[in-house]
Amino acid sequence: MSRTFREDLERRLQDVEFAREFGAAAAKTDLALTLARARRICQVTQADLANLLGTSQSYIAKLEQGDANPTIGRIGELLAVIGLRLSTNTIPLISSAYSETETNRAENSGFHVSIPSLAPKAIYDLEIAVHSKKETSDTKTKLVEASSR
């Protein structure tokens, strides 16, 4: 019988050790997307960002590949040099939402999930956002525009 990605993943997540590794990888991946997006919005190249931080362009590339494991402080430093700070939130480890339409998901404003042995059923806010530190800066305007899209 054919296996599916979702069934496989849900089965594997019953293993707490796997879930821990998966959670670590998911956090790095999410951060990579957040950083890449923030950098693009601020129109800063990887090389420029590396110069501002006194690090290498390859380190920034590694962050945006989701392969690096920076400290929270390092993330704060990185965002600060482009006028941003990190705002975090939690969402379910995996959603069971594929069968839901985009419209339904918007109406429900959250995913309904079950994570056996890890957490009770819950509905969480979905949004992980990066907020501007400079209230009046162009950066904030761009981020607000981006988040409303």
Partner 1 sequence: MYKIDYYTRPNGDQPVVDWLDRLDRKSWAVIEAKILYLEERGLELLGTKMLKQVRGERDLYELKGGQCRVIAYYDRRKEDNRFVLLNGFLKKRRRETEQINEARYLLHEYLNK
List residues binding partner 1 (CB under 8 A).
2-6, 8-9, 12, 15, 17-18, 21-22, 24-26, 28-30, 32-33, 36-37, 40, 61, 64-67, 94-95, 97-98, 100, 102, 105
Q: How many CA atoms lie within 13 A of 81 on its CB side?
A: 18
Q: Which is nearer to partner 1, 49 or 66 (CB)?
A: 66
Q: Which of 2, 1, 21, 24 is nearest to 13 (CA)?
A: 21
CA 50/CA 74 separation, integer angstroms: 12
Concatenated DSSP letters of 42-55: TT--HHHHHHHHTS
CB of 135 to partner 1, least distance (A): 27
Q: Which is nearer to partner 1, 63 or 86 (CB)?
A: 63
CB of 96 to partner 1, least distance (A): 11
Q: Which of 22, 73, 80, 24 is nearest to 49 (CA)?
A: 80
Q: Which is nearer to partner 1, 18 or 134 (CB)?
A: 18
Q: Which is nearer to partner 1, 16 or 134 (CB)?
A: 16
